[in-house]
């Protein structure tokens, strides 16, 4: 028992970069010599695969951006309208945010424009507010700087530049989803299928300034969690996770809630010892750094201090020493694992309660009150709150939503992939904690049929389930959940490992399971792609 626990601890620590980089080429050369392939041939093959994959990813993003631009033009006849009529087409809060963008451009200088926004007395009657802080106007600040610095005044109208950035960000969103599915499955065919099945029926709203950065963060995190990653790739993924996390937090006032859901996914991943502890805690440090830097640069935004993300990450960091001392593989350590999870949750709730008591805050109170009323934990006579409860986007999803997902073949394949992955993860957890304490394999081969041992896959399974629970409560959350449903389904049907996991359970003997898995991983997505293209 003690030896298996020590092996588990060694396995979960981050390997030395120099050692892994030295050993990897030797192992690859042995495999290449057995297959009769030269290293030069394999290098050309990998470079060609990377080049065409990146080309397909960028092309998909550009095509989606052009599609949105064309759709917007045909829906509103945007180019044939006057300036005031164009501004009227902005729906909801988008018109308010665009008005701040116009004010920045009309100001004598950028510094003067920022000053007027930070001392705004036009938005709320008889009150001066810091509009940059309270309304998160950093996208408008960046857009105005880019418009003036690029010398676009004589080339393009401000409104076209503004919506062009939004459409360009949606292209980045699709490219990030493409890359994530590619990293998970090992083939960029999954990325093509991800983009094909992601259908959006509305022009990008306010949060779509931020969600592309979150998609980039998820793509980088997927690569960062992978096993046997070389040192340079790991550093690149780490830097991209850091930059995209901070940018996402600066672009959207509710970003820390979505990052909290992600942190819960990583917490469960680490609690079941399915990922390297050091990597997970490095991501926690990124959260702390982003929160601290965001607090300073958002004019000491108190909402970040009382956010559940900060409380959870602080509790996890405080409990790190206790968690490391429990990895021993004994029955007592398994029992203490449950105590550890309870302890983290208790510290999180207590810390968040204390912070709200001592830190003055008003931001996002309406969101917390809405959640309490929505879950039946409280009642209110507030008109605004009751008006929000009547909004269609804040109701449970309609049957039409599930019907559309089923007709596009997305929901059936998503459920199939999710069930296979869940069973495989459950099997791994049971084997580790309830049986012999078997450690995870360093290298998973196709014939092993153990998709549940890949940490990046387990993370996405947990993450999509949590987002799905939110989407089942609020229909507006489907725009967060549906893209990752497309990504997980596309990865599953294109992954030979997933099919191999299924065939290992079925114990196929008539046909070689590896050959059948490879055939299905190419045939099924091809059939789905042609059917969607025809439709």
Q: Each residue of 476-521: pLDDT tens digit?
A: 788 889 888 888 888 888 887 887 888 777 776 555 656 655 666 6
Q: Answer with the residue of higher pLDDT: 155 or 264.
A: 264
Q: Is the pLDDT of residue 198 over 50?
A: no
d(CA 418, CA 296): 40
d(CA 361, CA 532): 49
Give residues with Cβ within 8 angstroms of 149, minimum separation 6.
none
How many Cβ atoms sit within 10 Å of the Cβ of residue 343?
16
Q: What is the pLDDT of residue 526?
A: 64
Are the CB atoms for 258 and 215 separated by under 8 Å?
no
pLDDT band with cut points at 50, 70 and 90 for residue 395: confident
pLDDT band with cut points at 50, 70 and 90 for residue 315: very high
Tokens of 13: 């620590």
- Out of 28-32, 87-91, 476-480, 509-513, least confident range: 28-32
Q: Answer with the residue of higher pLDDT: 533 or 77.
A: 77
Q: What is the pLDDT of residue 438?
A: 59
Q: What is the pTM of this model?
A: 0.85
Q: What is the pLDDT of residue 10?
A: 46
Report the percentage of the chain scoring pLDDT > 70: 76
d(CA 99, CA 436): 63
- Is 413 strand, coil or helix? helix
Q: Answer with the residue of higher pLDDT: 362 or 294.
A: 294
Q: What is the pLDDT of residue 509?
A: 59
| Ranges of each domain in the chain | 397-534
Q: Answer with the residue of higher pLDDT: 15 or 515.
A: 515
Q: What is the pLDDT of residue 335?
A: 73
d(CA 265, CA 29): 37
SS3 content of the chain, % helix, strand, coil (to 5): 80, 0, 20
Rounded to the nearest integer, the mean pLDDT of the chain is 79
Are the CB atoms for 532 and 197 separated by under 8 Å?
yes
Q: What is the pLDDT of residue 9?
A: 47
Q: Is 77 exposed, middle or buried (0-12, 13-18, 19+ CB in 10 A)?
A: exposed
Q: Answer with the residue of higher pLDDT: 386 or 248.
A: 248
End-to-end CA distance of the chain: 57
Q: What is the pLDDT of residue 311?
A: 93
Are the CB atoms for 274 and 458 separated by under 8 Å?
yes
Average pLDDT over residues 414-418: 90
DSSP state of 432: I
Q: What angle do CA 337, 291, 370 make, to 5 degrees?
A: 80
Q: Is the pLDDT of residue 22 over 50?
A: no
- Out of 174-178, 413-417, 515-519, least confident range: 515-519
Q: Is the pLDDT of residue 197 over 50?
A: no
Are the CB atoms for 167 and 204 separated by under 8 Å?
yes
């Amino acid at each position: 028992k003690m030896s298996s626990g020590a092996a588990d601890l060694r396995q979960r620590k981050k390997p030395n970069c120099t050692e892994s980089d030295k050993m990897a080429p030797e192992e690859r050369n042995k495999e290449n010599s057995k297959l009769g392939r030269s290293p030069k041939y394999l290098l050309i093959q990998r470079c060609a695969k990377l080049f065409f994959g990146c080309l397909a990813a960028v092309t998909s993003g550009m095509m989606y951006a052009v599609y949105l631009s064309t759709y917007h033009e045909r829906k509103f006849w945007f180019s044939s309208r006057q300036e005031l009529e164009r501004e009227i087409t902005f729906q909801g809060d988008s018109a308010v945010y665009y008005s701040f963008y116009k004010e920045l451009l009309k100001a004598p200088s950028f510094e003067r424009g920022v000053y007027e926004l930070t001392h705004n007395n036009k938005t709320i009657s008889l009150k001066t507010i810091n509009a940059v802080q309270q309304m998160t106007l950093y996208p408008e600040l960046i857009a105005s700087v880019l418009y003036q610095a690029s010398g676009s005044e004589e080339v393009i109208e401000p409104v076209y530049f503004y919506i062009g950035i939004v459409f360009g960000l949606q292209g980045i969103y699709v490219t990030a989803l493409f890359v994530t599915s590619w990293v998970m499955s090992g083939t960029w065919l999954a990325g093509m299928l991800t983009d094909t099945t992601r259908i959006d029926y509305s022009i990008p709203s306010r949060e779509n300034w931020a969600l592309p950065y979150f998609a980039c963060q998820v793509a980088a995190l997927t690569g960062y969690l992978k096993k046997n990653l070389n040192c340079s790739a790991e550093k690149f993924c780490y830097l991209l996770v850091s930059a995209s996390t901070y940018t996402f937090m600066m672009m959207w006032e509710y970003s820390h809630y979505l990052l909290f859901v992600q942190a819960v996914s990583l917490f469960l991943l680490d609690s079941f010892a399915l990922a390297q502890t050091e990597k997970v805690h490095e991501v926690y440090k990124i959260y702390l750094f982003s929160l601290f830097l965001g607090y300073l640069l958002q004019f000491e935004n108190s909402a970040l201090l009382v956010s559940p993300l900060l409380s959870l990450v602080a509790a996890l960091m405080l409990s790190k020493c206790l968690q490391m001392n429990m990895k021993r593989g004994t029955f007592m350590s398994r029992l203490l694992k449950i105590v550890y999870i309870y302890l983290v949750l208790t510290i999180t709730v207590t810390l968040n309660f204390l912070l709200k008591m001592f830190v003055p805050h008003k931001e996002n109170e309406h969101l917390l009150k809405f959640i309490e009323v929505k879950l039946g934990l409280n009642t209110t006579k507030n008109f605004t709150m009751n008006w929000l409860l009547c909004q269609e986007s804040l109701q449970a999803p309609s049957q039409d939503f599930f019907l559309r997902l089923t007709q596009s073949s997305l929901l059936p394949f998503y459920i199939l992939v999710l069930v296979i992955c869940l069973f495989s993860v459950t099997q791994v957890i049971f084997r580790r904690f309830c049986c012999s304490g078997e450690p995870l394999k360093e290298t998973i081969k196709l014939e092993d049929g153990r998709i549940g041992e890949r940490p990046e896959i387990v993370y996405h399974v947990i993450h999509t389930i949590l987002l799905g629970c939110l989407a089942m409560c609020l229909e507006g959350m489907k725009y967060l959940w549906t893209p990752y449903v497309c990504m997980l389904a596309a990865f599953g049907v294109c992954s030979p490992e997933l099919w191999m996991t299924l065939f290992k359970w079925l114990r196929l003997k008539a046909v070689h399971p590896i050959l059948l898995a490879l055939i299905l991983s190419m045939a099924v997505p091809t059939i789905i792609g042609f059917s969607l293209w025809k439709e």
